[in-house]
Amino acid sequence: MTKKAATSGLSIISIILAVSVSFLFSVKSKDPGIYNVETFQSGNGWGYQITQQGKVIILQSYIPCIKGDHPFPNEKSALETGNIVVAKIRNNEDPSITLEELDKTISSTEY
């Protein structure tokens, strides 16, 4: 009887563990906080888009917070600016870029 109880106990623990692991993976794959920054060529420069689970939530073809429609001068600056925006979104902050933040990714002589 003891051997049968031990086997039943192990079976129950295995089932609970399998259900728990399955639940963790399903929650992780449905995480609404999964963001991705992708760059693209825009005119004679670069832009970025931010997707959330494959859906575009921000499309930025031009440098934000400056006058005129000027694309980012290079892919790196577009990507870095997009990453700043994603960090703000994850922190529940306003995703707008300030000139000070922009100066961290692009030299003011480039825009």
What pLDDT digit, counting tens, does each position of 22-33 carry? 333 333 334 556
CA distance 62 to 51: 17
What's the pLDDT tens digit per position in 66-100? 999 999 999 999 999 999 999 999 999 999 999 99
CA distance 22 to 102: 42
CA distance 32 to 52: 7
- Alpha-carbon torsion 102, 106, 107, 111, what sign? negative
Q: Give the bridge partners for 51, in sequence order.
A: 36, 56
CA distance 53 to 32: 7
**Picking from 13-17, 53-57, 81-85, 100-104, which range would have the lowest pLDDT averaged per residue?**
13-17
Whole-prediction pTM value? 0.68
